[in-house]
Structures are given as C-alpha cells and as structure tokens.
Amino acid sequence: MGKTLVLAFYITICCIAFVISKIVISVLIYRRWKRKKVVFEDGFSGGKMVLFRASAMQSLKSDTFLKKTLKLSNKDIIGSGGYGTVYKLTVNESIAFAVKRLNRGSADRDRGFERELEAMGDIKHRNIVTLHGYYTAPNYNLLIYELMPNGSLDAVLQGRSMEKKLLDWPFRYKIALGTARGISYLHHDCIPHIIHRDIKSSNILLDQNMEARVSDFGLATLMEPDKTHVSTLVAGTFGYLAPEYFDTGRATAKGDVYSFGVVLLELLTGKKPTDEAFIEEGTKLVTWVKAVVQDKKEVYVIDSNLGCCPTDEINNAFSIALMCLEPEPSMRPTMVEVVKMLEQIKNNEVVKET
Ligand SMILES: Nc1ncnc2c1ncn2[C@@H]1O[C@H](COP(=O)(O)OP(=O)(O)OP(=O)(O)O)[C@@H](O)[C@H]1O
C-alpha cells in the first residue's frame, strides 16, 4: 500500500512537471512568434522593409505602410538630432508612428542603426520606446517607433512642447521613477545586459499618460553578463557624461547611473546641464547643486514650476541624485537600488546612503 502511494506521488509530480514544461515552452514559442518579422521588399527603390509582428502592426498592410513611409516630407518633421530627422507617419486617425531617418554613408551612422536594431529588436517594456520595424535602402535607413505624443522631456522642461507648469512634482516623480525602471531593465533584466550610453532628457520621451520611455539606442552597447565594462571611443552628450569616461573610455552601467543623476537634477531644478549660465560662471549643474545641498539650501534651487510639494520628498530626491553623481563609480548605487530608493520616497521612508 505504502509503495503504491509513493509511486502515485512520483507519477503525479512527473505529470505536473511535464505540463509546466509544456506551458513554458509554448510561452517561449509564442513570444518568439510575436517578434517574427513581416518582410516587404520594394523593387522600385531597392529597399527592404521589416515590420515586427505586434498588435499595433497587425491591422496594417505592409505595402500601404511602405508607400506612406516613402512619401514622408519636411511637413511631417517632429524633431531632429545629431544622427537623423524624426517624422510623424500618420496611417489613419487613430494610428501614427515616429520614423527616424538616418542617412547612410558614414560608418558611424550605419553602426548606430545596427546598434539600435541589436539592442531594441527584442525589447518590450513599459518604460522603453517600442521599435516596430525598420526600412533599409541604399542611401538611408529608417527606424519605425511608436509615437510619443508628449514629445521629449527636455522640450517639456524647457516649455517648448507643452505648458511647463503642467509638469508639477507628482508628474516629475513619475517620470524619474519610470526612467529609472527602464534603465534598470536594460542593465539587469536584458540578456545580454545593455548599457545605453546616452541617457539625457532629450532621449526620455513621454507617452499619452506622461509615462517616461527611454529612447535612442544609437550608442547602446551590449554587454555579456560576466563583463563589467566595454571599451569604446568617447561618445555621448556633454553635461551628462560620467567623469571617469573621459579618462578610461569605458562604458559601464555606472556611467548610465551618473547620467540618470543629471536628469534627476534637471527634473528638480528645471535647469539644463548645458545651460550657458553655468559655462559663463565656469561651473556645472552638478557642482552647483552639490554646493547648494551641502549648505542645505535645496529649497532655493528647486524649479518654481514644481508646485507645492513635500520638502522631505524633494530632499530625498536630491540625496538620490547626489548618490548617482558620486565621482567614484563604485560608490554609486545600481539602477535596481535607485528604483527602490525612489519608491521609498512615496512610502515616506528616509533614503539612506547605500
Ligand atoms: N518615438 C518618438 N515619438 C515622438 N517624438 C520623437 C520620437 N523619437 C524622437 N522624437 C523627437 O525627435 C527628437 C530627435 O530625436 P533623436 O533621437 O533623433 O535626437 P536627440 O536625442 O534629440 O539628439 P541626438 O540623437 O543628437 O542625441 C526628439 O528630441 C523628440 O522630440
């Protein structure tokens, strides 16, 4: 009787394990299928369009989409950066995309396009802009993203895209936390891990709910799990780069943490790290804020548009920013720790140095 029971127990365990393994395999196959591509060749211009299979793309006919993409003109431009121009592609009243055009010809730009595909091809996270597909032609490449209706954080902070006063402390806190979660996902959950290398307010886009989405992976570096750094040529944006990067040329996750610290200061003070006033005075946003915090005068430097906000929350946010901006990289928290500390702010817990 005893033996029969033991046997029945083992058989049950085996059956459950079998069913669970089948479910896991099915989920993996489904996820891979979802990311499968629909490829559309364009005989006329010699280009190739690849659309990732996702719900947003399913209702679209690739040839209609391709025709609309090829018709983009100056009137559709919504932004431009050092590497390319961004257009709004309207499919119909309810569906629109952002299309970034990168002219080919320089190895730098081609490499940026490849990096973006490598890094973003498989990512799906609520705080990272989704890449829906791409188009590659002999003279240029296009990247097709979901459209972020509220534009970039720097435009909002500088009052270029919507009323700055709308961006009060609860919104800024939400943006800081969302950005931190997005970077934390890249650093800790993606395999291989991803170092963004160009975290700055113009690369943080805002969706219809003012939720932050990290974008622009043109400089991103994929890092094998056992590595701590990747050697690169100095690239990134002045004002956001960690000091050690100039000496070592090494891209590390702690470099992204530093850049995030600068963005957090921008959110708190409303000042641009590249503000000419700092250059004229021979200082930097980071140095200026450090002196202010040392004198316990945070309240005098916060952006007046933050509205009425709890002082302890603001002081804690300043402390987190300064931890991220530690000159010694090993003293900076990881992005997982940053997320935790930011979450503690709303739980009224005192943020402690890590
Ligand atoms: N998915 C998107 N939805 C809405 N607007 C976007 C999107 N992607 C980019 N933009 C707009 O286009 C602008 C330019 O973006 P882009 O990534 O080319 O350059 P950048 O980050 O501003 O500068 P650089 O690439 O030189 O560092 C952004 O600041 C933003 O306003």
Which parts of the chain have pLDDT scores under 70? 1, 26-45, 53-63, 105-112, 116, 118-119, 160-166, 218-236, 279-282, 348-354
How confident is the model over 101-151, as pLDDT tens digits?
Answer: 887 766 666 666 777 676 677 788 999 998 888 888 888 888 888 999 998
Domain boundary among 90, 119, 146: 146
The catalytic position among 42, 189, 198, 207 is: 198
Residue 86 CA: nearest ligand 1 atom is: 12
Q: Do both 131 and 63 map to the same domain?
A: yes
For this structure, is 198 an active site residue?
Answer: yes
Return d(Cα 78, Cα 101) in angstroms, integer: 12
Ligand 1 pocket test target in 95, 100, 201 with most atoms within 8 Å of CB: 100
Take atom 4 of ligand 1 and give the residue whose Cα is closest. 148
List, as residue ranges, the binding site for ATP. 100
What is the CB neighbour count within 10 angstroms for residue 106? Answer: 11
Predicted pLDDT at 348: 65
Does the beta carbon of 98 sit less than 6 angstroms from any atom of ligand 1?
A: yes
Q: Is 83 left (phi over 0), alpha (psi -120 to 50) or beta?
A: alpha
Predicted pLDDT at 223: 53
User: pTM, whole model, 2 decimals?
Assistant: 0.81
What is the CB neighbour count within 10 angstroms for residue 107? Answer: 8
Q: Do both 328 and 211 map to the same domain?
A: yes
Predicted pLDDT at 31: 59
| 254, part of any domain | yes
Predicted pLDDT at 76: 92
The residue with tokens 């956001």 is 240
Q: Do both 141 and 160 map to the same domain?
A: no
Q: Do both 163 and 299 map to the same domain?
A: yes
| 87, part of any domain | yes
**Interface ipTM above 0.90:** yes
Q: Do both 141 and 161 map to the same domain?
A: no
Predicted pLDDT at 265: 93
| Helix (H) or strand (E) segment spanning residue 40 | strand 37-42
CATH label of the domain that carries residue 66: 3.30.200.20
| 32, part of any domain | no
Q: Which two tokens stand for residue 108?
A: 């730098």
Predicted pLDDT at 79: 85
Predicted pLDDT at 308: 73
Q: Do both 203 and 235 map to the same domain?
A: yes
**What's 209's DSSP letter?**
T
Q: How many domains does the chain have?
A: 2
Does the beta carbon of 242 sit less than 6 angstroms from any atom of ligand 1?
A: no
Predicted pLDDT at 217: 76
Return d(Cα 201, Cα 297) in angstroms, integer: 25
Predicted pLDDT at 286: 84
Q: Is 196 left (phi over 0), alpha (psi -120 to 50) or beta?
A: alpha
Domain containing 55 equals 37-146
Closest C-alpha among 103, 69, 68, 97 to residue 85: 103
Ligand 1 pocket test target in 127, 215, 217 with most atoms within 8 Å of CB: 215
Predicted pLDDT at 24: 74
Predicted pLDDT at 111: 67
CA–centroid distance, 264 to ligand 1, in Å, is 19
CATH label of the domain that carries residue 253: 1.10.510.10
